[in-house]
Amino acid sequence: MTSFDADPAGLLTVPVRFSAAPYNVVIGDGAIDRTGELALAVHAAGKVVVVTDSNVAPLYADRVLASLTHAGFTPNLIVVPAGEPSKCLAGIEMLCDAMISAGLDRGALLIALGGGVVGDLAGFAAAVYFRGIPFIQVPTTVVAQVDSAVGGKTGVNATGGKNLIGAFHQPALVVSDPRTLISLPAREFNEGVAEIIKHAAIRAPQMLDDLDPTQRDGLASLVARNVEIKAAIVAADEFETTGLRALLNFGHTLGHAIENAAGYGELLHGEAISIGLHAALLLSREFAGLSEADMERVLDALRAFDLPLHIPAHLSSEQILSAMMKDKKFTSGKMRFVLLKSLGDPIIVDHVTSAAVRDVIAVLSGK
């Protein structure tokens, strides 16, 4: 059952129904060239800054700038170095200084053009610049289009962990063009599919049967289905007060710890999450009664996209456990895990023992 509609040009719209600030996610081939037109529907023409990275800028910056100019905006472009190291407080300071130098005030609009790093970094800058200016997400990676661009979580990494410094700041609009995914290297495309597999595991098991590692084109409907899953969960728990939004952390408890312990850059986010999904499946089998068949169905999907399922050999249990203790999901001395009773039936638990976590780390490390 879907709630997204197509306009005459073939663009799909998925509403994100936050009570205070609802917005739309517009998805379709060629949508990136309509950024200016779509932006006018949510913000008056004026000064706008487009924040992107050194990988995305040569591919799509000119098209977005031309679209904005045609719509009557006065655009500025800021390019940050590609990669996770840019997602830090120094990057926020750099962005804000550049926006001040460009004469952008509280009436300006920010557009985040790129993957999850750009979206998180630029979104947090929008949250704090002049105590908050509106922004639009234009995601260009799988993980950003199906996950990180939706929901309003913005932030940067700290030395002690991923995404520990940030704010909730909802975009005014999300513009997703699945054609941008065609340009992704195989590794970057596949790592984003880990988030699709996560959504399938917690909400839509039938989606596992629709995934095709050879397909890069015609993905608008798949992106829309994932956005709809994410939107329904986050709209019901915008600020993580009811616990429902925590379901999106399936695979992330150990996944983030592994990513942090490995050092940002060794594993892509989705690769670390893939290993975290494997861990969560093993714990689900032990603590939630997940069947072997359901577990293998998810693992088969991860294998189909060449995603890693085991922890790099050089990482120790202590490194990973230490990273877990600093994670924002570690609360009041307990680590919350999202586990599956069956596919599509997740639960949140805090009774997973440290011994069980150590055992799973040992299994996934081949020790």
Give tens-digit pLDDT for 331-365: 555 678 999 999 999 999 998 998 999 999 999 99
Instruction: Kindly report, residue by residue over 227-252, the tens digit of the pLDDT.
Output: 999 999 999 888 777 789 999 999 99
Whether residues 48 and 184 share a domain: the answer is yes
293: containing domain: 250-365
Q: Which of these, 74, 133, 73, lies nearest to 105 by C-alpha position?
A: 133
Whether residues 179 and 46 share a domain: the answer is yes
Instruction: Kindly report, residue by residue over 259-296, the tens digit of the pLDDT.
Output: 989 987 789 999 999 999 999 999 999 999 999 999 99
What's phi and psi for 217, nearest 5 deg?
Answer: -105, 160
Domain annotation covers residue 338: yes
Distance between CA atoms of 347 and 284, rounded to whole angstroms? Answer: 9
Distance between CA atoms of 85 and 92, rounded to whole angstroms? Answer: 12
Instruction: Kindly report, residue by residue over 209-222, the tens digit of the pLDDT.
Output: 999 999 999 999 99
CATH number at 272 reads: 1.20.1090.10
Domain annotation covers residue 77: yes
Domain annotation covers residue 292: yes
Whether residues 73 and 163 share a domain: the answer is yes
Domain annotation covers residue 149: yes
Whether residues 337 and 188 share a domain: the answer is no
pLDDT of residue 242: 76
Region 55-84: mean pLDDT is 97
CA dist 326 → 152, 160, 165, 260, 282 (Å): 22, 6, 12, 10, 23
Given a cut of 90, is residue 193 above it in pLDDT?
A: yes
Residues designated catalytic: 131, 153, 195, 230, 240, 245, 249, 252, 256, 269
Whether residues 126 and 258 share a domain: the answer is no
Given a cut of 60, is residue 2 above it in pLDDT?
A: no
Beta strands 12-16 and 23-27 are antiparallel
Q: What percent of the chain has pLDDT over 90?
A: 84
pLDDT of residue 1: 39
Domain annotation covers residue 288: yes
